[in-house]
Amino acid sequence: MMQDLPLFPLQSVLFPGGELGLQIFEVRYLDMIGRAWKTGQPFGVVGLTQGTEVRQRAREADSAAFSEAFATEHFYNVGTLAHILELERPQAGLIMIRCQGGQRFTLSASHQLPHGLWVGQATLLPADAAVSVPPHLLGVKTALQTVAQRWPDAQPQDWDNAAWLANRCAELLPMPSATRQQLMALDNPLLRLELVADILESLQKK
């Protein structure tokens, strides 16, 4: 159980082992990221279901004017820990980070602090079991190897691991964010790879 895990709601999905680059300029995140970098602690990435990544004022009812309140934000209750690998401060009020996805988690509760930062009570989910890629899904491996140059050289590769292969495919294939979220939240890596193979096959037929 992780109490008061800082959360970063995004319109993208972070998979375990995946990489994510962010530019931080909102006040609610600057201090959080600075503390996470200093202490080596992760923060949680969760997918938005309502709202935007940058906090915005809500519009008045039946009016184009903005109110004093902020727009509502909602997000999925399954997310991924983000571990900061690199941090740069190119100018005052701006932090650029590169993160790697760690364990998945599920939120049992969350609340927003006065300055806008979300924190949650998170339970870590078990890591995906190390399952070999079955013969009938080796075509996914072959297809992915053709675009492997898109990854950073330092990113570990585990071509015979079904979970790793499914995660990397899900990051690259064009699909709605909701579908990507559903794949990430699946506990069965073979089922995740089967669904990715179906998506890949449908794209190849177009």
Same domain, 153 and 105: no
Same domain, 94 and 25: yes
Query: Is 147 domain-assigned?
Result: yes
Quickly list DSSP for the chain.
-EEEEEEEEESS-PPTT-EEEEEE-SHHHHHHHHHHHHHT--EEEEEEEES-SS--EEEPTTSSSEEEEEPP-EE-SEEEEEEEEEEEEEETTEEEEEEEEEEEEEEEEEEE-TTS-EEEEEEEPPPPP--BPPGGGHHHHHHHHTTGGGS-TTS---TTBHHHHHHHHHHHS---HHHHHHHHH-S-HHHHHHHHHHHHHHHHH-
Distance from first CA to last CA of the chain, Å, rounded?
45
Model pLDDT, residue 84: 98
Q: How confident is the model at residue 56 (pLDDT cuts 50, 70, 90)?
A: low
Q: What is the pLDDT of residues 5-18, one digit of tens each?
A: 999 999 999 999 99
Same domain, 70 and 111: yes
Query: Is 194 domain-assigned?
Result: yes
Same domain, 117 and 164: no
Query: Is 177 domain-assigned?
Result: yes
Residues 106-118: what's their mean pLDDT?
94
Model pLDDT, residue 180: 97
Percentage of the chain beyond pLDDT 90 is 74
Same domain, 15 and 114: yes
53, 44, 13, 17: which is closest to 184 by C-alpha? 13
The residue segments making up the domain with residue 139 are 135-205
Same domain, 108 and 155: no
Q: How confident is the model at residue 68 (pLDDT cuts 50, 70, 90)?
A: low
Q: What is the pLDDT of residues 183-196, one digit of tens each?
A: 999 999 999 999 99
Query: Is 129 domain-assigned?
Result: no
Model pLDDT, residue 150: 58
Same domain, 186 and 101: no
Model pLDDT, residue 73: 87
Percentage of the chain beyond pLDDT 70 is 88
Domain boundary among 124, 155, 179: 124
Q: How confident is the model at residue 147 (pLDDT cuts 50, 70, 90)?
A: confident
Residues 16-39: what's their mean pLDDT?
95
Domain boundary among 78, 99, 124: 124
What is the tally of structural domains in the chain?
A: 2
Same domain, 78 and 154: no
